[in-house]
Structure 1
Amino acid sequence: MSDTRIALVTGGNRGLGRATALALAEDGVDVVLTYRANRAEADDVVTELEKAGVRAAALQLDVGEVGSFPAFAEELRGLLRGTFDRDRLDHLVHNGGHAALTRLGATTVEDVDRLYAVHFKGPYFLTQALADLIADGGSIVTLSSGLSRFAGDGWAIYGSLKAGVDQLTRYLATELGPRGIRVNAVAPGPIATDFGGGTMRDDEGARTHMASLAALGRIGEPDDIGPLIATVLSDRARWVTGQRLEASGGTLL
């Protein structure tokens, strides 16, 4: 049976998930990534990972559809045994997500329900569904946000849910600690991805404004976050658990 470490990265077909998967591959970690809709994009990342010298696979998952999690866990169990010669995962990254502005007077119940399902309910119940598949001594990273610390116009629900993720991370760290499983939150600031319609990637005015608010004078790139997540998952951070690590370049200090 293989002793190579294996990570599951939700939303690993693009943005921060892709950067995390590639950073894990640099550490020699095999990767299972999930995607919601774009199979071709996921397959491209699998190819990149295999070229980097690790084993990789992609599974479909909507992290907001908790009813699908038991079947997903069984599919993952079969994949681990059949493709990776393992019974357990070592790492879980709750990266999958989406953005939605929620200003007073223009927010629907459906907007809030979907944000809650994807960013809070989903990570909790996916952790529950996969807990028996995570090896003792493993590690989990949840994705928080700089918006759980500072307020951004229109991000009330998203930012508040991410603050909930910060607290949930501490509870999960406490509950899973007896098994030696570490749980930490990584909180990116503004990052140049397609998240939120790609504003931080494509809108030069928005990029310049947010860069002016950062101590390091720029916005982040996916490769600023992926290696950090890989480090937090690794034994290099073996004495760190229940923490929120913000990676925002010093935004709004």
Structure 2
Amino acid sequence: MRTRTLEGKIALVTGGSRGIGRAIAQRLGRDGATVAVAYARDETAANEVVERVQKDGGRAFALHAELGRHGDAASLWAAFDAHVDAYAPDGGVDIIVNNAGIGRSSALASLTEDAFDEVFAVNVRAPFFIVQQGLERLRDGGRIINISSGAARLALPEIIAYGATKGALDTFTLNLAKELGPRGITANSVAPGIIDTDVNASWLRGNPQAEAHAASLAALGRVGQPEDVADIVAFLASDDARWVTGRVIDATGGSGL
């Protein structure tokens, strides 16, 4: 039987209705946390995650949070506040997972200003203000986990702006660790490589050559699964990771070694 290491904790997972976010929400729920599953558009998918957590014996609720616009963090926390009283009368949160993001961008020559602004708004500005406005709710000893990317440490000109957002997110993580350390709050990034999710489905699934190429990039010789990332997040959210902060945890399976 799984040890419920996060019993009594409240977790917020952005982009929690699909892919990596879905796996994270379900894993944290199995570990005992009450999970706020934040979603941008697909309410049905978010409710399916909630139901899955509940079937596994956990507690969860869905909340709508479309990111990338001014005021998005305030709207997210307002939705959180409207639900959390049923689970935590003090309105507190213990774990913030900034997972929502735009996964692709264009090369330098073709990237538009609007596309640049959009990817930075979702991938950098939203996590920044979600944390800023969540600090009064975040309990001492809490956890901030930002989902970065292996693209932050590799030269990938075809997704130049995306890689830049993840580099910025890692710098944000580093500074959070320093600023919030006196409260016992840890801040870490998890940096996945190629993961078999809906975002990559159009070129990866059903394409043996693409899958073989993606697998060959990892030292471990396969394409990553959402659960590979979720399990790392669960460790960082637990008390076992109390002495780890300000780090970028590589979750690429050894890509680019």
TM-score bin, normalised by smaller chain: over 0.9
Using the TM superposition, give the Cα deviation of residue 203 of structure 1 relative to its aligned residue in structure 2, in angstroms: 3.5
Q: Which moved more, 1:153-162 or 1:189-198?
A: 189-198
Q: Aligned runs of 1:224-239 on 2, under 5 Å? A: 224-239=228-243
Using the TM superposition, give the Cα deviation of residue 68 of structure 1 relative to its aligned residue in structure 2, in angstroms: 3.0
Using the TM superposition, give the Cα deviation of residue 83 of structure 1 relative to its aligned residue in structure 2, in angstroms: 4.2
The residue aligned with 1:28 is 32
Q: Name the SS for the 1:82 alignment partner.
A: coil
Q: Name the SS for the 2:256 alignment partner.
A: coil
The residue aligned with 1:46 is 50
The residue aligned with 1:88 is 92
Matched, 1:116 2:91: no
Unmatched segments (≥5 aa) in structure 2: 1-6
TM-score w.r.t. the length of structure 2 is 0.93
The letter of the residue matching 2:37 is L
Using the TM superposition, give the Cα deviation of residue 213 of structure 1 relative to its aligned residue in structure 2, in angstroms: 1.8
Using the TM superposition, give the Cα deviation of residue 153 of structure 1 relative to its aligned residue in structure 2, in angstroms: 4.4
The residue aligned with 2:249 is 245
Q: State the Cα deviation string for residues 189-230 of structure 1 (Å, max 9, x = none).
A: 110001255434444322211211211111101111111111
Unmatched segments (≥5 aa) in structure 1: none
Number of matched pairs = 251
Using the TM superposition, give the Cα deviation of residue 188 of structure 1 relative to its aligned residue in structure 2, in angstroms: 0.3
Using the TM superposition, give the Cα deviation of residue 173 of structure 1 relative to its aligned residue in structure 2, in angstroms: 0.9
Using the TM superposition, give the Cα deviation of residue 84 of structure 1 relative to its aligned residue in structure 2, in angstroms: 4.1
The letter of the residue matching 2:134 is L
Q: State the Cα deviation string for residues 49-73 of structure 1 (Å, max 9, x = none).
A: 1111111101011221241322432
Q: Name the SS for the 1:11 alignment partner.
A: coil
Matched, 1:221 2:238: no
Q: Name the SS for the 2:188 alignment partner.
A: strand
Q: Does the aligned pair in 1 maintain the 2:73–2:126 contact within 8 Å?
A: no
TM-score w.r.t. the length of structure 1 is 0.94
Q: Distance in 2 between matches of 1:80 and 1:185?
A: 25
The letter of the residue matching 2:84 is L
The residue aligned with 1:190 is 194
Q: Name the SS for the 1:32 alignment partner.
A: strand
Residue 157 to residue 73, structure 1, CA distance change in 2 (3 Å): same
Q: Name the SS for the 1:58 alignment partner.
A: strand
